[in-house]
Structure 1
Amino acid sequence: MIQAETLDLLEWYRLCQHLSTFAATKLGAIASRQLQLPTTKEESLTLLSQTQEVYQLEQRPNGRLSFEGITDIGNALERANIGGMLIGQELLSIATTLAGVRRLRRIIDQQEDCPVLNALVEQVRTYPDLEQEIYRCIEEDGTVADRASPQLREVRGQMKVVRERIYRRLQEIINKQGGAVQEAVITQRSDRFVIPVKAPQKDQIPGIIHDTSSTGATIYVEPQSVVEQGNKLRQFRRTEQIEEEIILRKLSEQVASLFDDLEYLLAVATTIDLATARARYSLWLEAHPPRFVNLEAGEQLTLRQLRHPLLVWQQQHEQGRAVIPINVQILAPIRVVAITGPNTGGKTVTLKTFGLAALMAKAGLFIPAKEPVEIPWFDQILADIGDEQSLQQSLSTFSGHIRRIVRILEALQIDNSSSLVLLDEVGAGTDPAEGSALAIALLKYLAENVTLSIATTHYGELKALKYQDSRFENASVEFDDQTISPTYRLLWGIPGRSNALTIAQRLGLDPEIVEDARSRVGGYTEDINQVIAGLEQQRKEQEQKAFEAKKLLQQTEKFYTEVSQKATSLQEREKDLKRTQEIEIQKALTNAKTEIAKVIRQLQQGTPTAQDAQKATQALNEISAQFLPNTSAKPQKTYIPKVGERVRIPSLGQTAEVLSVSEDTGNVSVKFGLMKMTINFTEIESLDGQKVEILVKAKATPVTPPPSQTEKPPTLIQTSKNTIDIRGSRVAEAEADLEKAIAQATQSGVLWVIHGKGTGKLRQGVHEFLGQHPQVKRFEIAPQNEGGSGVTIVYLR
């Protein structure tokens, strides 16, 4: 299939391998390596939205998505669905996956600008009851816990009693028959308790021989006196296995009953991990999101400073050489681009770079190019790149290319809605005259039937197509005549010129031979090369001027930034100065009031006389001169409304007529329509926008503290319904218990969580859980008389 061949030729699966290294889970890595391309533009837009939202989340301090605990439980779900029994470790993986997806969903739910991710997790159910039941029945090492059932607890208790009896009896035998015992230890063979006995003294300890050492010097004997107890222990062990199987099967059945929901949960987690891998890979590439354009509608394709993603990886991880970006800008009428230039000049790399960019945009990946990134969405991306020569099939280079081109044309006949065709060395491998004619015919056919085609060639005849058909464009890879090497830069609008004779002369070929060759090529070809060389020189001069202009612009921007910063600094200094002045005035007023109060107290201590009053007046004048601001300036005229005047009431959006004015109370009676009302001066203004400013006599007003900004917490009443005790639980178990308790305590508005002090690990885990819960308003450590650091009080929304 030509589409699959194209992916191989463009090394798409190598890019997918790089993408998989950014996945957080095994399922995400597998999905990345097997990345499927969407079949519709809408699917690509959805994938790009997912990538964009995760990309934005990753930039926030607390927005990084965590996939901790999420594992590949697909095989376990399938086996449970067909009636199989899951082992303890598989059940624990299901429980940790449920908890991990719940944490992941909580992070996404807290974001207000992630509609695509929110819609993705909206229908996910994490079943905390199943998770809690698994943790109750299964220990951390995967074994079934005693607490799983009363029967299991009872049989294990009986086993413990029998085992202790056996140990005591064997220890007695070892102590009495020490000479016959090879080593004073109790060991097991075939689930039976035995002691190592010297082979010559085996008759001194009669019993059942279960094993012999490699040398034959030691035999492992189960003494006859403990055989019956050993049989009992084996029966209990079988009963224990039956009880464990009952518990495991019951849990497996619960998992099977939720198969569809759990499978959907796993698919959503994989989708989010894949989106996260795309976002992190795009961030690493310093890539930008593409916008899909329509060339046929007159829009243009723009990819500035486009870099080959595999070469970027090679540069970063394999000490490869620096990646030279290319610029691609294709206007609406263009349907075919012919790229010419010398071998090893980068023509094939250009084709692959552009092809990978189209595939990345289609798959929901950002493109490693500068913004704006504008590229069409292609239904098909088809390529003929490289040499398909095969000795086994007796195919020449030309035959291999033709075979692949035939498959490309067949695919275009099936679906030709929007396609991109990439052809490397079109028409090569045969007679130049016939090859160039075939290449021209093929490119003209593609111009009629394909959205966009890009072809590399050595044939000079293809350079002239641009001047015969407006749908064609020329491009070339730049070549440095001084160093006799390509620069790998792509030049648009200029065809590549032949450099063979120049290179030959620079490399030392006899000048007579070179001149003879030039005369055989003909003056017309040489004239064309001279014209192309002139165009290249003009382009270099324009690029140098553009570089200088860019440098000047950067200097201007830097100067503008410095001026803006200085202006901002001056504004801040002015604000600070005003704040300082206000503080100083307040201090002066406070000191003045204190001094006045002293004078008043002095007058109140005895019978005031005229002389005392005169001294007090003098003291007040001194205080006024020292502390109060100078008010000798002429007072500004103030606006006072008059009866019959029309004023504006901004808060009501109305104009009204003044009925009466009271300067003592600062109120004014107004009428608008049929309504009359009395309002304060501060709520009106003149029709030309003047505000009322009344100078009233200063009155001694008591200084009252500002109202408290926090409400007094209500009286808390602790009951059994709003209290949960999780001491001795693990953090994962505690989260499931807290989820239930919060739902039940919502009406009371408060929840007491008793977690104990201990090492503080459980308290820390509880606080992290509460800090991310949407129903938790705040929480705090309880007072010392209510449990102190062993209890947390949670206030709910």
Structure 2
Amino acid sequence: MNKKVLETLEYNKIKEQLSAFLTTDRGQAVVDQLTPSADFNEVSRRLAETEDGANIVRLRGEIPVPKLTEIAPYMKRLRIENASLSGTELAHITKLLRAVKTIHDFFEDFQEESVTLTVVSQTVDQLTLMPEITKRMMQSIDDDGRILDDASAELRAIRRTIVRTQNDIRSRMGKYLKGADAKYLTESIITMRDDRFVIPIRAEYKQHFGGIVHDQSASGQTLYVEPSNVVEMNNQLRRDQLAERAEERRILAELTDLLRPSRHELLANMNLVGRLDFVNAKAKLAHQLGAVLPEVSQENIVNLRQARHPLIAREKVVANDIQLGKDYNTIIITGPNTGGKTITLKTVGLLQLMGQSGLFITANEESQIGVFDDVFADIGDDQSIEANLSTFSSHMDNIISILNKLTSRSLVLLDELGAGTDPKEGAALAMAIIDAIHQRKCELIATTHYPELKAYAYNRPGIINASMEFDVETLQPTYRFLMGIPGQSNALNIASKLGLSPKIIEQARAFTDSENQDINNMIAELTAQTKRAHDEADQLDQELTESTKLHTALQDKFDQYQNQKDRLLERAREQANQVVAEAKKRADQIIADLHKKQRLVGKSTIKENELIDAKGALNQLEVAPSLKKNKVLRKEKAKHDFHPGDDVMVKSYGQQGTLIRQEKNGSWEVQLGILKMQIDENDLEKAAPEKKAKQTYQTRVSRTRSSGMSPTLDLRGHRYEEAMYELDRYIDSALLAGYPSVTIIHGKGTGALRKGVNEYLKSNPRVKSFGYSAPNAGGDGSTVVKFK
């Protein structure tokens, strides 16, 4: 790709925006070397890589690439046999090793996502993990390059000795800061001179202390003296500090030797992490610009849907549809200046360069780009003072260069073709140049204000007119691109709107030949028709979007209703069968009692066949199809559908109470005033709605406006049985709401509640998988559940 077009279309400004998202020096090097590719497979691979990055950013925020300094210079020094790296240099390498481990773990976890990565996963697979070296470096060097105590047992022992000696020195010298000797000091402090502990004394009391003078103040009034009773301790401290430095040098050499055999792997890892940093930057830039993945055409068909210039703010830029390469490969945009023709040229060119660089483009979904071997542009005032060329001569020089280099797979952008000379000669030259380029079968977009080119484009196959819309009422360009309509001359209309005398306007129209007037009238009519079509299309698009949203919402609600209906019917049948089972059990007991009485008394008026018939009738109730619609049975069942917190009537006492929890034997613990009692379930009945008091038990599932329920259930503070009941009800609601996953907060505590939650989730057939939350999101205090 020629460098001139990159400058003309401001390609480097896109690269500057990319650089703002980088965190590594190697990533910056990748961006610096980035240029558009002319290879179809390479362009497709680059775009697939960006798509991977966009999916990662959408699902996980970004690839965890930290700020890394380039290590290539350090690797060169590793080739020198006895050279040692500094603590700072080793810290930079340690950051790289830690980053490789973090990135590897990140993508191991990312495999759980539903999205499959195509290109980025190949990059990650090339990373070389060095677990032993990473562990050794992390325990030896901190981020600032300081050698840690854990680097060696000898270093730890020396540093402990140094700290102990320093404390002893401070303790002994601290006596001079108090009592009678304090009056001889200029300040009550212990300070350092020449790496030795000293105290500041007044010069006239030098003999009172003795010891060694290491420094004095600028005025000479203060002497910094090392008292004689700490000289030996300072000497010992000095020896320990020298031993510490020697051990640190030894450790640095050891760590350097540890890294030396792996310098090629380290450099390769740096390259790969820099590449992943670049992927992050591409994805983040696409998100910031609202850019999309374009389709790539091997036939170089360009179809940009609502394309926007990426360097103009979204709230200011006007989006346009631009097509080239299918029905026509040359577009001539005519009309007056200041209408947006140049911006349209730059938009097409810059989006094409971005796409061929692997960047998403600022357009709508399903937009299409080509893969051109080169993009040529002659845009703007290229007057060359150094070469002593006029504007026209400079343009001709560029065009001649383009004609000598273009091929059938090139894209050419020419702005104000033929300008800067006599209008008739300029128009003739423009038509000849367009003919020459068009015959090469390449793709061309040219702008001009010459009216002669309108008729030229009208009669030639493969060439189409276009223009930029202008609102005569407001005297302002709308910057809307109109394909198939040549630009209209608006000079007389604008002059009339501005208040020029109608007489002058009419005279001017008389001077204009009838052919031009007819063309202008035709263009005006076409423009009006196109505007109406655009407006109607926009309105239809809006209505279609709203209808689609409504249909989707209604479908979701209907699906939820169907799922809920089936579940409730199944549950009602199960509960009804349970009631029948209880009735059967009770009936069997009655029959058994009757037999027993019959044996005891020796006779009975009850016949055996009547007893058998009664029992058979009870058995048939379990599978009766009409049972699901039995209103009496459903009403009775509703009276005994108990939950913690329900207000109930204890029939034997005639008192109203509140259910607390259900015991294992089936009875309920009921709050009756200040008393708590164990009541058999058959002795309970739900209280009438108008008699319900305030609930004493409240679930901690919060509701939201959007979905009707929260994706999080908090069970902390609940008793075990209450928690299990609420968990079961919440999981059912989450499934009905269509949640793919939810989070259950159970806390850590004794672990009983957490164990209960895990056991329940294992037994639920609708649960796909579950596991504890990330350490920064609660750890084993909460569980993330994914549904099938």
TM-score tier (shorter)? 0.7 to 0.9
Match 1:533 to one of 524, 531, 545: 524
Measured against aligned partners, the alpha-carbon deviations of 1:248-281 in whole angstroms (never above 9, x if no partner) come to 1221232232111111111111112211221222
- Contact 1:290–1:366 at 8 Å: present in 2 too? yes
1:271 aligns with 2:275: yes
2: CA distance, partners of 1:228 / 1:565: 85
Q: 1:155 to 1:40 in 2, by over 3 A?
A: same
TM-score using structure 1 length: 0.72
Match of 1:345 in 2: 339
1:749-760 equivalences under 5 Å are: none
In the TM superposition, residue 480 of structure 1 has moved relative to its aligned partner by: 1.0
Query: Which one is further off, 439-448 or 169-178?
Result: 169-178
Match 2:466 to one of 452, 469, 475: 475
1: CA distance, partners of 2:586 / 2:168: 94
Match 2:196 to one of 187, 192, 197: 192
State the one-letter code of the partner of 2:358: G
2: CA distance, partners of 1:561 / 1:67: 36
In the TM superposition, residue 183 of structure 1 has moved relative to its aligned partner by: 2.4
- Contact 1:19–1:281 at 8 Å: present in 2 too? yes
Match of 2:139 in 1: 136
1: CA distance, partners of 2:282 / 2:14: 11
1:231-630 equivalences under 5 Å are: 231-295=235-299, 300-312=301-313, 315=314, 322-391=316-385, 393-412=387-406, 416=407, 418-449=409-440, 451-547=442-538, 549-550=540-541, 553=544, 557=548, 560-561=551-552, 564=555, 567-568=558-559, 571-572=562-563, 574-576=565-567, 578-603=569-594, 605-608=596-599, 611=604, 613-614=606-607, 617-618=610-611, 621=614, 624=617, 628=621
- Contact 1:80–1:256 at 8 Å: present in 2 too? no
In the TM superposition, residue 428 of structure 1 has moved relative to its aligned partner by: 0.7
- Contact 1:76–1:86 at 8 Å: present in 2 too? no
- Contact 1:426–1:456 at 8 Å: present in 2 too? yes
Corresponding residue SS for 2:182: coil
Query: Which one is further off, 385-394 or 222-231?
Result: 222-231
State the one-letter code of the partner of 1:122: D
Q: 1:184 to 1:631 in 2, by over 3 A?
A: closer
2: CA distance, partners of 1:550 / 1:138: 61
Q: Structure 1 vs Structure 2: percent identity of aligned residues?
A: 34
Corresponding residue SS for 1:476: strand
Corresponding residue SS for 1:309: coil
- Contact 1:379–1:417 at 8 Å: present in 2 too? no
Q: 1:274 to 1:566 in 2, by over 3 A?
A: closer
In the TM superposition, residue 41 of structure 1 has moved relative to its aligned partner by: 2.4
- Contact 1:476–1:492 at 8 Å: present in 2 too? yes
1: CA distance, partners of 2:390 / 2:613: 114
- Contact 2:65–2:276 at 8 Å: present in 1 too? no
1: CA distance, partners of 2:169 / 2:53: 62
Q: 1:579 to 1:237 in 2, by over 3 A?
A: same
In the TM superposition, residue 424 of structure 1 has moved relative to its aligned partner by: 0.9
Match 1:215 to one of 219, 224, 227: 219
Q: 1:366 to 1:168 in 2, by over 3 A?
A: closer
Q: 1:267 to 1:160 in 2, by over 3 A?
A: same
Q: 1:107 to 1:230 in 2, by over 3 A?
A: closer
In the TM superposition, residue 338 of structure 1 has moved relative to its aligned partner by: 0.8
In the TM superposition, residue 178 of structure 1 has moved relative to its aligned partner by: 3.5
2: CA distance, partners of 1:529 / 1:384: 29
In the TM superposition, residue 287 of structure 1 has moved relative to its aligned partner by: 2.3
TM-score using structure 2 length: 0.72
1: CA distance, partners of 2:215 / 2:620: 106
2: CA distance, partners of 1:158 / 1:566: 74
1: CA distance, partners of 2:186 / 2:547: 94
2: CA distance, partners of 1:371 / 1:158: 69
Q: 1:620 to 1:238 in 2, by over 3 A?
A: same
- Contact 1:389–1:400 at 8 Å: present in 2 too? yes
Q: 1:376 to 1:114 in 2, by over 3 A?
A: same
In the TM superposition, residue 466 of structure 1 has moved relative to its aligned partner by: 2.4
Corresponding residue SS for 1:7: helix
2: CA distance, partners of 1:554 / 1:291: 23
Query: Which one is further off, 440-449 or 86-95?
Result: 86-95
1:72 aligns with 2:75: no
Q: 1:216 to 1:551 in 2, by over 3 A?
A: closer
1:116 aligns with 2:85: no
- Contact 1:95–1:130 at 8 Å: present in 2 too? no
Gaps of 5+ in 1: 316-320, 634-756, 758-776, 782-788, 791-797
In the TM superposition, residue 246 of structure 1 has moved relative to its aligned partner by: 1.4
Measured against aligned partners, the alpha-carbon deviations of 1:502-559 in whole angstroms (never above 9, x if no partner) come to 2122222333333333333312111111111121122233334444554665576567
Q: 1:229 to 1:571 in 2, by over 3 A?
A: closer
- Contact 1:341–1:478 at 8 Å: present in 2 too? no
Corresponding residue SS for 1:454: strand
Corresponding residue SS for 2:184: coil
State the one-letter code of the partner of 1:335: N
Measured against aligned partners, the alpha-carbon deviations of 1:389-428 in whole angstroms (never above 9, x if no partner) come to 244543322122223323333443xxx3621111111111
2: CA distance, partners of 1:330 / 1:283: 27
1: CA distance, partners of 2:624 / 2:443: 81
- Contact 1:151–1:243 at 8 Å: present in 2 too? yes
Once superposed, what is the RMSD of the aligned Cα atoms? 3.3
Measured against aligned partners, the alpha-carbon deviations of 1:14-63 in whole angstroms (never above 9, x if no partner) come to 12222233345454356446533335222221111111122223333xx3
2: CA distance, partners of 1:225 / 1:587: 94
2: CA distance, partners of 1:630 / 1:328: 68
Match of 2:766 in 1: none
Match of 2:726 in 1: none
Query: Which one is further off, 590-599 or 35-44?
Result: 35-44
